[in-house]
Every structure is written in structure tokens, then in C-alpha cells.
A and B are shown apart, each in its own frame.
Chain A
Amino acid sequence: GIQVEQSPPDLILQEGANSTLRCNFSDSVNNLQWFHQNPWGQLINLFYIPSGTKQNGRLSATTVATERYSLLYISSSQTTDSGVYFCAVVGNFGNEKLTFGTGTRLTIIP
């Protein structure tokens, strides 16, 4: 099946800093999503972005499908951005299941 790798696994930043999270995938995809799991365990869908660039406030994401990666940018980090960020993809071949990466744990220090 398709492999999804996220980097870095852990990131600790001061409030106000910017960060870039990366998601690499091993095969062509028709579906890519970014999620934030907050410290209370809720999974929030940030972006549905199989290709191109999207922005939502301080967050933006870019997927370069031909090169099999996606980037999530967080600007002017706030403590509420802490949590685990997951990338998930559906490969073009296979049974259409959404496969998750292992996540990036982001900790924002006040």
C-alpha cells in the first residue's frame, strides 16, 4: 500500500514563530488532507488539498502531486496550535482508503 512519511516528528517553537511541516507519499494520490489533533484529542480537518495551494488565516498548504509531497505552513504560531498534525492520502490505485502518516507533534511555548 501507499506509504506516508511526515517530518519532522517533533517540533518545539516559541509563540510567534513560523513553521513548515512536510508530508511525503510513495505513490500518486487523488486525495490529500491535513488534520490537527488538539491536546483534547479532537481531529480537525484543516485542508482538503489533492493539488495546488490553499490558505486559511495563518495556515496554508501546498501539494505538489507530481513530486509526491505536501507542505503545511503555520505562521505566527499560537499556543492553541499545539497538537499533532496528520497528513492523510488516498492513492490512485487500491481500495480508496485514507492512509494516515505518523504525524508531527508541534509544541508552542508561550
Chain B
Amino acid sequence: DTAVSQTPKYLVTQMGNDKSIKCEQNLGHDTMYWYKQDSKKFLKIMFSYNNKELIINETVPNRFSPKSPDKAHLNLHINSLELGDSAVYFCASSHHRARVTFGSGTRLTVV
């Protein structure tokens, strides 16, 4: 299936831990994104990579670090997790920054 796939789907972890979310797209897209959706359903971009180059870096704490080993992958590593990091994180991709396709999301719960 052609898609944007992210793992894990659910992540429950304690405050202070470090965790990673992985994302892969097989659509041949050149741009990948991470979005955060809060409890009120508001979606906000965190990072965007075009051909492995960081092009958008919103005001995100530097505990969040994206890594793009190649055009098909964009992983998100989070250090020292805080309660306020609990949210749904979506990976997405597009070609030439046009129509965006989203992954199914990772629900992160920090306890």
C-alpha cells in the first residue's frame, strides 16, 4: 500500500524519559512534516524537511529533534518528556509542497 506510516500508534511513558516516533512514506514525495494536534484538536506544524533539508522549524522546544536520514524517512526524537507533550503527533508528506498526505498519528501520553 502506498502511504505514510508512522510507529508506534500509541506511546505511554513517564516524565523525563526519551522517546522516538518513526515515519516513512513510499509515495515518492520530496517534503515531509511533523504536526502536533492538541487536546482541542488544533493542528500546528512543528517541522518540515524538503529533500532531507530542514526548511521549517517552528517555535518548538529544543527537546524535540527531527532527523531525516533520507527523503522517505523523518523521525522525531523527544528528550526529557513533560506532561505538556501529551498530544497526537502526525507525520505527513507532499510533493513540491502541494497536496499533503497524513499518517495515522501517534498518541503520546506522558504520565
Minimum distance in angstroms from A11 CB to a CB of chain B = 15
Q: A96-B56, A100-B44 are in contact. Are A41 and B99 (CB under 8 A)?
A: no
Chain A residue with Cβ nearest B9? A41
Q: How many residues of A contact B (CB 8 A)?
A: 22
Q: Which residues of B contact A97 (CB under 8 A)?
A: 45, 48, 56, 58
A33-B100, A45-B102, A98-B45 known; 6 other A-B pairs, CB under 8 Å?
A35-B102, A41-B88, A41-B104, A42-B102, A84-B41, A97-B58
Q: Give the complex CA separation of A53 and B102 in angstroms.
A: 23
Q: A84-B41, A96-B55 are in contact. Are A42 and B104 (CB under 8 A)?
A: yes
Interface 1/0 per residue, B30-46 and A, CB below 8 Å = 00010000000111110
Q: Which residues of B contact A44 (CB under 8 A)?
A: 102
**Are B99 and A33 in contact, CB atoms less than 8 angstroms apart?**
yes
Chain A residue with Cβ nearest B40? A102
Q: Among B33, B55, B99, point to the contact of A48 (Cβ < 8 A).
A: B99
Check: A72 CB closer than 8 A to any chain B CB. no
Q: A90-B97, A97-B45 are in contact. Are A43 and B56 (CB under 8 A)?
A: no
Check: A37 CB closer than 8 A to any chain B CB. yes
Check: A86 CB closer than 8 A to any chain B CB. yes
Q: Among A42, A95, A99, A103, point to the contact of B105 (Cβ < 8 A).
A: A42
Residues in chain A within 8 A of chain B (CB atoms): 31, 33, 35, 37, 41-45, 48, 84, 86, 88, 90, 95-100, 102-103
**Are A95 and B88 in contact, CB atoms less than 8 angstroms apart?**
no
Chain A residue with Cβ nearest B102? A43
The 5 A-B residue pairs with the shortest CB-CB distance in the complex, in nearest-first order = A48-B99, A43-B102, A100-B43, A97-B45, A97-B56
Q: Give the complex CA separation of A37 and B103 in angstroms.
A: 12
**Are B56 and A31 in contact, CB atoms less than 8 angstroms apart?**
no
Interface 1/0 per residue, B69-111 and A, CB below 8 Å = 0000000000000000000101000000111111011010000
- Of listed B43, B100, B105, residue having the most chain A CB within 10 A: B43
